[in-house]
Amino acid sequence: MNVEEVKNIHFFLADHYASTDDPISPPGVKDHGLLESACARPNMTACQKEMFETQFDKAAALFHSIISNHCFHNGNKRTALLSTLYFLSLNNYWVEGCSDDELFEFTRKTAAHEICPNRDDEISCISKWFSEHSRKVVKGDKNLKFNDLKEVLAQFDFELIDDGFTCSIKKDGEEVEKIIKRGKQGHNDYDPAYIAGLRKKLDLTPEKGIDSARFYGQRGIDIQLNDLMQLRIDVFNRLART
């Protein structure tokens, strides 16, 4: 993450909260030097070796530095959290193995230096927490039989109705797509390419918040800033009041 990316995230948050009871006011960078230091810290080296080797170590360094450096006039905790969620998403990790309360307390304790007894251990504690509460984004599709596809679509409130030669896909009682049954008896698998195309037509793609893990029944969310924030909007709103 570079300085411009973190600044963009900060002003994205400022715009979002501008008309609320908890605006980031005033927004903007308080200390450019501290912001540059925070962004550079994850890639620091010592004796020609990276100080923060894993992506979780780097995420921890970024999170800790933005919060602790108070680079911005206001909104440092929110900026630190969204920047870190975005950084992890760029590396194909989603933070999801925790409740909103847990994520809020984790962020609050980091800001208050209550994350662990010894401040020298804060980065490693933060890294461990992110590692334990994140998972790899699962990409790619696989074969699905008719009944399996029906069950998968049902979790997103789509109905797959057998019309004979074809099948209707309905949502809220209205037909949104029609597909052809595979094989003479309709029992052949739908191949990955077909599933990928269908997901795109139904807006069940990673860009819409549905990665393959979530589509196939595992929990998952998307990568983009707005989606990341909306996913944890209660956390961000609570942080706005602290």
pTM: 0.67
Please tell me whether residues 116 and 235 are part of one structural domain. yes
Closest CA to 37 of 11, 3, 8, 7: 3
For the cut 90, the answer to whether the pLDDT of residue 213 exceeds it is no
Contact 71, 1 (CB under 8 A): no
184 exposure class (CB count in 10 Å sphere: 0-12, 13-18, 19+): exposed
For the cut 70, the answer to whether the pLDDT of residue 220 exceeds it is no
The total number of structural domains in the chain stands at 2
Per-residue pLDDT, 222: 32
Please tell me whether residues 193 and 100 are part of one structural domain. no
Supply the mean pLDDT for the chain: 88
Residue 4 parent element (H or E): helix 3-17
Please tell me whether residues 151 and 134 are part of one structural domain. no
Residue 178 lies in a domain: yes
For the cut 50, the answer to whether the pLDDT of residue 107 exceeds it is yes
The pair phi, psi for residue 169, each rounded to 5°, is -110, 120
Residue numbers of the domain that contains 122: 3-138+220-240
Mean pLDDT, residues 144-155? 88
Q: Which of 158-167, 168-177, 187-196, 223-232 has the highest mean pLDDT?
A: 168-177
Please tell me whether residues 36 and 57 are part of one structural domain. yes
Contact 42, 62 (CB under 8 A): yes
